[in-house]
Amino acid sequence: MRRTTRALVAVSAVGALALSACGGDGDDGDNEGGPGAPTATTEGGNTGGAIDPDRKGPVEIEGAEAGGTVHLIDVTPLETMHPSEIYYTHTYGIGSGLMFRSLTQYVVKDGVPTLVPDLATDTGTSNDDYTEWKFTIRDGVKYEDGTPVTAEDVKYGMESAMDLETFPESPGFYSQEYFEGGADYKGPYTGKGAELDSIAVDGSTITITMSKPFPDMPYWGAFPANGPIPKDKAADPAKYALHPLSTGPYKISDYTPKKNLQLVRNDQWDPATDPGRTAYPDAYDMDFTVANEKIDEILLSDQGDAKDSLTFDDILGTDYPKFQEQAADRLVPGATPCTRYWAPDYRKITDINIRRAIALAYPTRAAIRAGGLIEGVNRYPADALLPPGTPGRADYTVVEGMTPGTPDPAAAKELLEQAGAVGYELKFLFVSDDPDAVNAKDAIVKGLEEAGFKATPVPTTLEAATTDRENPDKDINIRSAGWCADWPSGGSWFPVLLKTEDVAALGQISQNYALFSEPDVDQRIDDVLSLPIEDQATAWGELDQYIAETYLPLIPITYDGVIAAHGSNVNGHETDPTIGMPTFKDIWLTQS
Amino acid sequence: MGIPATESVADPSLGEESLRPSGKRGKENFHGRSPMQIALGRLRKDPVAIVCAVIVLLLVLLGVFAPIINNVLHISGEQSGKYALDIVESTDYTGTPIVGPPHGAFTWDHPLGIAPSTANDNLARLLLGLRTSLLIATLATIVSTLVGVVVGLIAGFSRGWLDRIISFVTDVFLAFPFLLGALCVSPILISYFGEDADKLATAQKFSLILILVIFGWMGLARLIRGQVLSLREREFIQAAQVIGAPTRRILFRELLPNLVAPIVIAVSLGLPAYVAAEAGLSFLGIGLTGQPSLGQIVEAARGYYDTYPLYLFVPVGVIATLVLALNLLGDSVRDAFDPKTRR
C-alpha cells in the first residue's frame, strides 16, 4: 500500500531513514534509541493472523458519548476517494473506517487487529486449494440514498477496481493476478461494459474462481476496491469520484478534492449490520492543507476546536519534546507494516558484495536524526525485509554480524577492496527543496564516503521526485522506496516487489524498484503461493532470508512507526497497525 | 537626492591637482579639497560612522575568512567537514543536542552550541552563512548598480524615444511584484541546472543574485536619470557638446563624476537591503537551500524559539546587527556627501 506522508516524500527520495529503536531510556542522555516504542511497534506491523468470522454488530463502546464534530487536520493531500482507486494509507483509513464498506474489515483492540466480516456474513468460505471463494452479502445494508446494496453491486465494484486504465493507482492488480480471466480483463469502463465471468452472483452469494491459489482473499476483501458500487449511478467515474455513495456510518456533505472533506451522519447505516464500526460523533471536518508546524501548534494549544481535533500526520521531531512535556497523554504512537529500503539497480550494481558494502555503510541512525525524524518512535532500523509482526517472519541481518542501524565503515571498505571497487560511485536522488531531505542526504553522503564509496547525490524536487524515481533510464544507480504490506503475509511483499516486471511495456517502474529479475526467485515465489496455507507463513520468512543472502536485491533501512496526536476531548484514537492510521471506527468526543 | 558636486568647491572634471595651488601661496597653506575628501573627512569625525564601519569590517572579515577560522577553532558548519561531529553521539533520539545548550552546560568547544538534527557547530555555520550572504549581497549590489547607472545615464541623456522606452521598461519592472516574481523565476532557473548537486548550488546562488538584480536596478536608474536630466542643460555639458566631445566621453567623463555622491549613497543603502532580502528569500525557501546562508539558518531555527532560543536568536541578531550597521553607515555617508548638511 502506498503511504503518503510528508516524511515519506522526503525520505523516499533520500533513503529510508532509520530510527534506533528498542529499549533504552532516552533520559540518561545517552545516544540510545527512543523511549522504547510500545509493544505494538516492537512487534511491528502486527497485522496478526487473527480472524473472527462470527463477529456481529452492533458495536458499543462503554462510556462513549454521542455528538460533536471531529476536526481532522493534516498536511498530506487527500488523494482520490473513489472506492475503486483507494490505495493510500490515509484514504484507506478514512474511506474504510467511515464511509465505504467491503466484504471484510479490521477491528483493532489494544493495538491488535482482527479480521471480521463487513458486508459478507462471514469472512468467506473456500474450497480446499483456495481456488474458489464464496461470500454471502447480508441483507439490510443500504446506500446513503436508501437503495439496497446487492451482490451485483459488489461484483461491479470488484470489476471497476480492475479497470487499471481508468484507475491507474488502483490496487485492482491483485484481482487481475488472482481472479480467473483477470489478466485479460480491462474493466467495465475501458472494456465497454464487459463483465468478468469468474465473479459469479447467485442471489446474494458471490462466488469467485481464482486462476491460482489465493489464500489471502479474506484480507484482500477488506479493501474498498472490493465494495459495492451501483452500476447505474457510477457510469461516469470522474463524476462519481466527487461523491461516491456511502455505505458506512458517514456520508459526504462537502468535498474539495485533495483539500477538504466534510462528513455528516449517514442515517441509512444500520449498526446492527456492522460488526466493526461505531458512529458517535455527529460530523467530521477534515482539512488537508494545514502545515506540519501549524498542526503541532494547534494540538499543543488544545483550545477551542483543537480539543476536538486529531491528526494522522507525524508530529515533527522539533515539537516532540514539547508534546512529551506538556501533552504526553495525547500522543498516539503506533506501528505500521511498512519497510523502507534502498534498491540498488540490479542491472548496474551487479556485484553482491558491493550491495553488502552499501548495507554496511548506510548511516541509518544519523540519517534518521538528520532528517528530523524521531528514532525509536517513527522510524527504527530494519534488518529483514518483512517487518516485525509479520507471521512467519525470519529474523536475520543482510550481512553476517552487522548491527542494524549502526554502520561499519571498516567492514564495508574491506568488502569494496575485495571487490576491487573502492571509490565506487553511488548516484541517488534527493529532494533539494525540502531542508530535512537535504540534511538527511548530507548524513548519508558522509556515511557512504567514510566507507569508501563515492557518493553523488542527484537533485530532484518534491514535484518531480516520484517521476524521476520511476524512470528506468534516469542516470542513478540506486533508488529508495518503501512498501506497506497490504495484508499480513509475505504474499503481499514478494510477488509485488521482486517478481520480474516488464518495465519496457509499462514505460516506468511499478513496484520493483531494484529492477530485479531472477527466474529462480520468480519460481520460488510461485512455489510458496501453492503451498498449503498453514505452511505459507514460514515459507515466506525463509524465502525472505534466502533472497537476501543469495541476491540481496533490496537493502532494508527502516521500519516505520507513527507518532500522531489528538486534542483532549478525543477518545478512542489508537493506531491501526495494519496501515498506521487512526482507528476512526472507535472515535468519540467527550461532550462538555 | 544629492546636490551635484559641482556646487561645492570646484569642478571635479578638471581633476584634483588643479585645485590645489602649491604651497607657494604662502601663509595659509590652503589645500583645496575635492568633494570626496571633504566627505571622507566628515565621516572620520562621525562617531556613529566609525563604529558602524568597524562592525561592518569585522563582519566582512569574519565572513571572508570563515573557512580558515573554522579550521583554527576545530569546528565545522557542514556534516562532511573535517571537524564535524557524529550525529548519533552528539544528539539524543529526538535530535536535540546533548552537548551544550539547551540542556547541557556552556562549552568552549562549541561557544554557540550545536544545531539539532545535524550536529553542525552553530558558530561555524553562522560564519559560513555570513560569507555566502555577504557575497550574494555584494555581487547583487555591484551588478544592480552597474545596470542602474548605465541605464539611468542613457535614459537621462538621450532625448525622445529612447528615453521614453527606457522609462517605460523601468516602470514595468517597478510594477512587478517582487516576491511573486522570485517565486516564479527561481524554480525555472534551477530546473535548467538541476542535474548536478554542485552545479545546483552555484545555480541557486546565481539565480538569487539575478532575482535581486532584476528587482533592484530600477531605483538607482530612476535616480540617476533624474540627476542627469538636471545636469545635461548645464553649461559645462553644452560646452563639451559644442567642442565636439563624443557622447560616451560626455557621459562617463563629464556626467558620471558628478553622480558619485548619489551612487555611493545608493550602494551603501542598497547593500543592507540586499542582505535582508536574501535572508528573507532563503527563509522562504526560494533562495538557497542546502547551503548555509543567514536566511537559511534562521529558517532551520524557526521551530526552536522556545526550546532552544540561542539557536534562533543569535543568527537573527547577526542579521539585525549587520543590516543596522550598514544602514547607519549609509545614513552617515549620505550626510557626509550632502554639502548642505550642517555638522
CATH number at residue B314: 1.10.3720.10
Grid coordinates standing for B103? 540542556
Quick count: other Cβ atoms within 10 Å of Cβ B205?
Answer: 19
Q: What is the pLDDT of residue B158?
A: 86
- Would the pLDDT of A105 be above 60? yes
B-chain CB neighbours of A26 within 8 Å are: 92-94
Residue A425 touches chain B, beta carbons under 8 Å = no
Q: In whole angstroms, what is the distance from residue A488 CA to residue A48 CA?
A: 6
CB distance from A233 to chain B under 8 Å? no
The predicted structure's pLDDT at residue A12: 29
Backbone phi, then psi, for A517, in 5-degree steps?
A: -150, 110
Question: In Å, how far is A476's CA from the nearest CA of chain B?
Answer: 11
Beta strands in A465-535 (DSSP E): 478-484
Residue type, B305: Y
Phi-psi group of A531: left, alpha or beta (phi > 0 → left; psi -120 to 50 → alpha; rest → beta): beta
Best probe of the B interface among A436, A439, A458, A467, by most B CBs < 10 A, is A439
B74 in a structural domain: yes
Query: In this structure, is residue B59 part of a structural domain?
Result: yes
- Answer whether A377 sits within 8 Å of B93, measured CB to CB: yes
B124 is a domain residue? yes
Nearest to B20 by CA among B8, B33, B11: B33
pLDDT digits (tens, 9 = 90+) for B300-316: 898 888 889 999 999 99
Q: Average pLDDT for residues A98-105, to the nearest whole number?
A: 96
The yes-or-no verdict on residue B197 having pLDDT over 80 is no
Radius of gyration of chain A (CA): 23
Which residues of chain B lie closer than 8 angstroms to A19, CB-CB? 93
Q: Does residue A372 belong to the interface with chain B, where contact is any CB pair within 8 Å?
A: yes
Q: Which tens digits make up the pLDDT trace of A496-553?
A: 899 888 777 777 787 889 999 999 999 999 888 888 777 888 999 999 999 999 999 9
Three-class DSSP category at B256: helix
> What does the radius of gyration of chain B's CA atoms come to, in whole angstroms?
25
Q: Does residue A17 register a pLDDT over 70?
A: no
Question: Which chain A residues are within 8 Å of B189, Cβ to Cβ?
Answer: none
| Contact flag B95-A438 (C-beta cutoff 8 Å) | no
> Is residue B11 situated within a structural domain?
no
Domain that holds residue B211: 48-78+120-341
Chain A CB contacts of B290 under 8 Å are 432, 435, 438, 441-442
Q: Which of A32, A318, A446 sits opposite B303 (nearest CB)?
A: A318
Looking at residue A317, what is its pLDDT? 85
For residue B196, being part of any structural domain is answered with: yes
> CB of A57 within 8 A of CB of A120?
no
By C-alpha distance, the chain A residue nearest B104 is A29
Rounded to a whole number of angstroms, the distance from the CA of B60 to the nearest CA of chain A is 27
Chain B residues touching residue A442 (CB < 8 angstroms): 78-80, 118, 290
- Among candidates A294, A418, A286, which has minimal Cα distance to A354? A418
List pLDDT tens digits, range A339-352: 999 999 999 999 99
Nearest chain A CA: its distance from B42 CA (Å): 47
**Looking at beta carbons, which residues of chain B come within 8 Å of A319?**
303
Name the percent of chain B lying above pLDDT 90.
37
Given a cut of 70, whether residue A282 has pLDDT beyond it is yes
Searching chain B, which residue's CA lies closest to the CA of residue A475? B195
pLDDT at A40: 38
pLDDT band for position B194 (50/70/90)?
low
Residue A43, pLDDT > 60, answer: no
Three-state SS at A340: strand
Nearest to B304 among A318, A430, A442 (CB): A318
- Asked if residue B192 belongs to a domain, the reply is yes
Q: Which residue has the cell 553522503?
A: A445
Q: How far apart are alpha carbons A125 and A20 in whole angstroms?
A: 42
| B200, closest residue in chain A (CA to CA) | A459
What number is the average pLDDT over the span B87-93?
A: 90
pLDDT at A183 over 50: yes
Backbone angles phi, psi at A22, to 5 degrees: 35, 120
CA atoms within 13 A on the CB side of A249: 26
> Distance between alpha carbon B336 and the CA centroid of its chain, in Å?
19
Task: Kindly report the backbone phi and psi dihedral angles of residue B3, in degrees, each rounded to the nearest multiple of 5, phi listed first.
Answer: -85, 140
Instruction: Note whether A20 contacts B: Cβ–Cβ < 8 A.
Output: yes
Check CB contact under 8 Å for A446 and B80. yes
Asked if A317 lies within 8 A of B79 by C-beta distance, the reply is no
Cell of A519: 527466474
Rounded to 5°, the CA angle B274-B275-B277 comes to 60
Q: What is the pLDDT of residue B341?
A: 64
pLDDT over 50 at B5, yes or no = no
The residues facing A581 across adjacent strands are A576
Task: Find the mean pLDDT for residues A390-416.
Answer: 91
Any B CB within 8 A of A427 CB: no
CB contact under 8 A, A443 and B118: yes
CB contact under 8 A, B79 and A446: yes
Q: Do B80 and A26 touch (CB under 8 A)?
A: no
To the nearest whole percent, how much of chain A has pLDDT over 70? 92
**Chain A touched by B171 (CB under 8 Å):** no
Model confidence band, residue B7 (pLDDT cutoffs 50, 70, 90): very low
Q: What's the pLDDT at A140?
A: 92
Cβ separation A369–B98 shorter than 8 A: no
A440 pLDDT exceeds 90? yes
pLDDT per residue over A60-93, tens digit each?
Answer: 999 999 999 999 999 988 888 999 999 988 999 9
Subunit contact B84:A446, Cβ cutoff 8 A: yes
B-chain residues near A321 (CB < 8 A): 94, 96, 307
Cell of A558: 527502516
The answer to whether the Cβ–Cβ distance between B303 and A449 falls below 8 Å is no
- State whether residue A375 sits within 8 Å of chain B by CB: yes
- Among partner residues B93, B118, B197, which is closest to A457 by beta-carbon distance? B197
Give dist(CA A415, CA B28) in Å, integer. Answer: 87
Write the DSSP assignment of B132-157 as a string of letters: HHHHHHHHHHHHHHHHHHHHHHHHHH
Q: Is the pLDDT of residue B337 over 60?
A: yes
Share of chain A above pLDDT 90, in %: 66
- The answer to whether B79 contacts A371, with C-beta atoms less than 8 Å apart, is no
By the CB < 8 Å criterion, does B86 face chain A?
Answer: yes
Of the residues B80, B91, B94, B281, the best mutation for testing chain A's interface (the one with the most A CB atoms within 10 Å of its CB) is B94
Among chain B residues, the shortest Cα distance to A292 is held by B303
**Contact with chain B for residue A171, Cβ under 8 A:** no
Pairing of strands A425-431, A454-460: parallel
Residue B79 and residue A433: Cβ atoms within 8 Å? no
Residue B145 predicted with pLDDT over 60: yes
**Residue B193 forms part of a structural domain:** yes
Q: Is A109 helix (H, G, I), strand (E, B) or coil?
A: strand
What pLDDT, on the 0 to 100 scale, is given for residue A242? 95
Contacts of A113 (CB under 8 A, 6+ apart): A46, A47, A48, A50, A106, A107, A576, A577, A578
What is the per-residue DSSP string for A45-69?
S-----B-TT--S----TT-----E
Please tell me which of the candidates A372, A432, A438 has its beta carbon nearest to residue B95: A372
Q: Is residue B19 a part of any domain in this protein?
A: no
CB contact under 8 A, B98 and A461: no
From the CA of B148, how many Å to the nearest CA of chain A?
32
Q: Is B341 an interface residue toward A (CB < 8 Å)? A: no
CB–CB contact B93 A432 (8 Å): no
Q: Is-contact A105 A297, C-beta < 8 A?
A: no
Taking only residues 523 to 552 of chain A, the set having a beta carbon closer than 8 angstroms to any beta carbon of chain B reads none
* A316/B89 Cβ within 8 A: no
Chain A residues near residue B89 by CB distance under 8 angstroms: 31
pLDDT at residue A21 greater than cutoff 80: no
Is the per-residue pLDDT at A10 higher than 80?
Answer: no
Which helix (H) or strand (E) segment holds residue A430: the answer is: strand A425-431
Number of neighbours of residue A490 by Cβ within 10 angstroms: 27
Note whether A31 contacts B303, CB cutoff 8 Å.
no
Measured CA to CA, the distance from residue B179 to residue B184 in angstroms comes to 9
Between the CA of residue A577 and those of A19, A559, B186, what are the distances in Å?
Answer: 18, 12, 42
Whole-number average pLDDT of chain B: 84
Whether chain A has a CB inside 8 Å of the CB on B291: the answer is no
Work out how many domains chain B is built from and give that number.
1
What type of residue is A560? Answer: D
Look at B94 and A371 and tell me if their CB atoms are within 8 Å.
no
Structure confidence at residue B27 as a pLDDT band (50, 70, 90): low
Chain A residues inside the 8 Å CB shell of B116: 317-318
Picking from B78, B86, B88, B191 by the largest number of A CB atoms within 10 A of its own CB, the best residue to mutate is: B88
